[in-house]
């Protein structure tokens, strides 16, 4: 008997201990799982609040590359968006699908817009043009409008926006602008330095964002908006009368500026980050489902 009892005791104790250990292990695993899930959900939650901001990129045929200055990427990140670079593609439906996936579009700067798009011959002072990129950017822009995605157009993006919706450009400000330009539009100093002022129209979305009637801006352009596209209005001009910003509200969810606010926003300039925060905000409720676009761009 004694032997038997001894055996029972010897057997039960280790069994109970191992059972408890298993139980603890399970609880620990469940706790770990719980916290992983909380972490994942909070990550998904915070990602969901950040809209995807598509940024059109430049295209270089000579070195076969697509790129954009990092100022745009940092400006979007600083404003609480997720940057997505959009390369030029000959597959128009793929490009449209990218626009469907992002929540907003930034049309970045670059070459002159080809004057054929607004029915003019090239002036001798016209700069380099990139016909393929014009087509691609116009397609991205038209698709964004069709899918009701908000747009922020910058520099060349502003000019291209105007041309896409029926406006025209001065191909070269120094040789074509009726009044002699009195400020430096082709800035020779660093882009983080404002070089001239613009006067902002008070009754405008731009004013709502910036809350200032005069803004100090940088300037890297020799082309400018001439005839404003129907549905758009001028919301900022330089002291010499050169058009510096247009917007299409309420018909088009587009703000287009001639200067480069991303230089300042990259530096963490709180005032200029507002312009990108505005795009992030406009992107907040713009999720929509794509219907296959009916028109195709004429990319050869
Ligand atoms: Mn300027």
Q: Answer yes or no: 185 catalytic.
A: no
pLDDT tens-digit map of 185-203:
999 999 999 999 999 999 9
Same-domain status, 278 and 170? yes
User: Is 14 a domain residue?
Assistant: yes
Cβ atoms of 226 and 122 within 8 Å: the answer is: no
What is the tens place of the pLDDT at every residue in 128-173?
Answer: 999 999 999 999 999 999 999 999 999 999 999 999 999 999 999 9
Query: Could you tell me the pTM of the whole model?
Result: 0.81
100 and 32 in a common domain: no
- The per-residue b/e assignment along 135-157, b for 16 or more CB within 10 angstroms, e otherwise, is bbbbbbbbbbbbbebbbbbbbbb
Q: Choose, from 155, 196, 205, 222, the residue flagged as catalytic.
A: 155
* 169 and 209, same domain (yes or no): yes
Determine how many CB atoms are found less than 10 A away from the CB of residue 263.
Answer: 23
The answer to whether residues 92 and 195 belong to one domain is yes
Residues 112 and 36 in one domain: no
Quote the CA–CA distance of 168 and 210 in Å, as a whole number: 27
Is residue 35 located within the same domain as residue 179? no
195 alpha carbon to ligand 1 midpoint, in Å? Answer: 8
Gap from CA of 181 to ligand 1 centroid (Å)? 10
185 C-alpha to ligand 1 centroid (Å): 4
Residue 117 tokens read as 């798009």
Range of the domain at 19: 1-49
Catalytic annotation on 260?
Answer: yes
Q: Are residues 147 and 19 in the same domain?
A: no
Measured in Å, residue 104 CA sits from the centre of ligand 1 at: 25
Same domain for 250 and 122, yes or no, is yes
Q: Are residues 179 and 164 in the same domain?
A: yes
> Is 262 labeled as catalytic in the residue annotation?
yes
Q: Which of 114, 244, 260, 277 is catalytic?
A: 260
Mean pLDDT for 85-111 is 96
Asked whether residue 77 falls in the same domain as residue 215, the answer is yes
């Amino acid at each position: 008997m004694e032997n038997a009892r001894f055996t029972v005791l010897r057997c039960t104790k280790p069994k109970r201990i191992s059972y408890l250990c298993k139980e603890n292990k399970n609880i620990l695993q469940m706790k770990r799982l719980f916290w992983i899930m909380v972490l994942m959900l909070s990550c998904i939650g915070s990602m969901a609040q950040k809209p995807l901001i598509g940024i059109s990129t430049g295209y270089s045929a000579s070195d076969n590359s697509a790129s954009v200055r990092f100022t745009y990427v940092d400006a979007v990140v600083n404003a609480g968006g997720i940057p997505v670079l959009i390369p030029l593609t000959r597959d128009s439906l793929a490009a449209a699908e990218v626009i469907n996936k992002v929540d907003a579009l930034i049309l970045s700067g670059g070459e002159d817009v080809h004057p054929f798009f607004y029915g003019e011959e090239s002036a001798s002072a016209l700069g380099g043009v990139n016909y393929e990129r014009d087509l691609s950017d116009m397609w991205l822009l038209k698709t964004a409008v069709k899918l009701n995605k908000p747009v922020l157009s910058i520099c060349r993006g502003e000019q291209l926006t105007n041309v896409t919706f029926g406006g025209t450009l001065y191909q070269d400000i120094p040789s074509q602008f009726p009044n002699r330009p009195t400020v430096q539009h082709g800035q020779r100093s660093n882009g983080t330095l404002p070089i001239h002022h613009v006067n902002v129209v008070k009754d405008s979305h731009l004013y709502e964002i910036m809350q200032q009637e005069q803004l100090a801006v940088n300037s890297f352009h020799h082309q400018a908006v001439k005839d404003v596209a129907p549905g758009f209005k001028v919301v900022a001009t330089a002291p010499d009368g050169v058009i510096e910003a247009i917007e299409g509200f309420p018909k088009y969810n587009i703000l287009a500026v001639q200067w480069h606010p991303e230089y300042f926003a990259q530096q963490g300039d709180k005032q200029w980050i507002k312009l990108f925060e505005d795009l992030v905000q406009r992107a907040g409720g713009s999720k929509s489902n794509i219907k296959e676009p009916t028109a195709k761009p004429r990319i050869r």
